[in-house]
Amino acid sequence: MRSANEGSKSEISVGVFGGRGYTGRELLELLHRHDGVEVRFATSRSDAGEPTPIPGLDFVDPESAPVSEVDVTFLCLPHGTAVPWVARLKGGPKIVDLTADHRPGSGREEGAVYGLAEPNRELVKDADLVANPGCYPTGVIFSLLPLERAGLLDRERLTVINAASGVTGAGRTPKPELLFAEVAGNFRAYGEGNRHRHLKEIRVLLPELSLLFQPHLLPVPRGILETIVVPVRDGVGATEVRAAWMEAYRGAGAVRVLGEGIPDLSQVVGTDRLALGVTEVDGVAPPVVTVVAALDNLGKGAAGQAIQNMNLMFGLPIDRGIRC
Ligand SMILES: NC(=O)c1ccc[n+]([C@@H]2O[C@H](COP(=O)([O-])OP(=O)(O)OC[C@H]3O[C@@H](n4cnc5c(N)ncnc54)[C@H](OP(=O)(O)O)[C@@H]3O)[C@@H](O)[C@H]2O)c1
């Protein structure tokens, strides 16, 4: 075991709860390639005794996970199930919780640091419990927070977020509406009327904005594209928006601000980066700009950002072991 102030002398020992799911599997693949990490266990109740994606490591039942042997655990569990684990692990390993259980707006955020890896990096360094951000909120908050802080937004008008996620965003537990025959060749909105739970998390970070958040299910395995119609103050255009992002994300290898044009999924799927682009909009007054954020829901939207948070908690370079 090692502590944060031991620098990068030894390996961080790691355990993953929920290693059979989509985020857990992605995380195991990344951790296996990370040169500062040793994975000691990965849990699954249904696949206990079966091989994990890491050669020589089999899944164990969560009840028999050797938690005292690890420096940090990742909770890749369904919502609601992280709470009892956090209580049981208290005083033990550090925790990166990928569920929504301790995120802003959950009512249980006390004692947890919100792991927006680049904006909150100083806070994450000292955290024992990190609430890893949701996949949709990552794109929205990384897009809008620098613009809000720079005073570029017209708060009186509505910001419209049209978001679409690939099917892995819904997790691996079978559901009828996620059958191939329902999803393939189809495209649909859900959580309409501002009812998606991620909006709560976004609103805590952007309390002054009036937001309409409309998610869609995209018939691809992975990837999130968010097209945001952003009301800006007079005189603000794409140049000012890019400048605010560049200022906020200077030196951030996982956040790519496009010099021109807008990103698409092919630029981010299978990576841990977030790509941001902006265009001006003709014929609209007062002015708006269109911001497009693209990320992989399992990468920067989950496992990639979780690894960044672990790196920060143990004094490693933020982007070590991720694909940016
Ligand atoms: N999918 C995404 O794109 C994404 C992005 C960001 C955040 N998240 C969040 O990350 C978490 C995991 O998502 P996911 O998509 O990986 O889910 P998932 O594919 O459904 O996997 C959940 C995992 O948890 C295990 N599990 C289920 N109930 C459990 C319990 N009561 N105790 C212990 N283990 C249990 C399951 O394996 P066994 O049943 O075999 O134990 C499985 O390995 C969720 O909270 C999700 O909202 C997901």
What residues are paired with 289 via a beta bridge? 230, 280
Entry pTM: 0.96
pLDDT of residue 6: 44
Where does CATH 3.30.360.10 sit in the chain? 135-297
Ligand 1 pocket, residue 62 CB under 6 Å: yes
- What is the whole-number distance in angstroms between the Cα of residue 261 and the centre of ligand 1? 35
Mean pLDDT of 293-314: 98
Q: CB of 20 within 8 A of CB of 38?
A: no
Mean pLDDT of 175-193: 96
* Residue range 229-240, pLDDT digits in tens: 999 999 999 999
Mean pLDDT of 127-154: 98
Where does CATH 3.40.50.720 sit in the chain? 4-133+302-313
Strands (E) across the chain are located at 12-17, 37-42, 72-75, 94-97, 113-114, 129-131, 158-165, 188-189, 210-217, 224-231, 255-257, 274-280, 288-295
Residue 248 has pLDDT above 60, yes or no: yes
Name which residue sits closest to atom 17 of ligand 1, judged by CA.
171
Question: 4-133+302-313 adopts what CATH topology?
Answer: Rossmann fold (3.40.50)
- What is the whole-number distance in angstroms between the Cα of residue 90 and the centre of ligand 1? 21
> Residue 36 and residue 31: Cα distance in Å, rounded?
9
* Residue range 71-98, pLDDT digits in tens: 999 999 999 999 999 999 999 999 999 9
| Closest atom of ligand 1 to CA, residue 170 | 1
Name which residue sits closest to atom 9 of ligand 1, judged by CA.
99
Contacts of 261-267 with CB under 8 Å at 24 or more apart are: 262/290, 262/292, 263/225, 263/292, 263/293, 263/294, 264/225, 264/294, 265/166, 265/220, 265/223, 265/225, 265/294, 267/294
Mean pLDDT for the chain overall: 96
Q: CB of 19 within 8 A of CB of 310?
A: no
Cβ within 8 Å of residue 156, ≥6 positions away: 210, 231
Please give the positions annotated as active site.
135
Domain 135-297: CATH superfamily is: Dihydrodipicolinate Reductase; domain 2 (3.30.360.10)
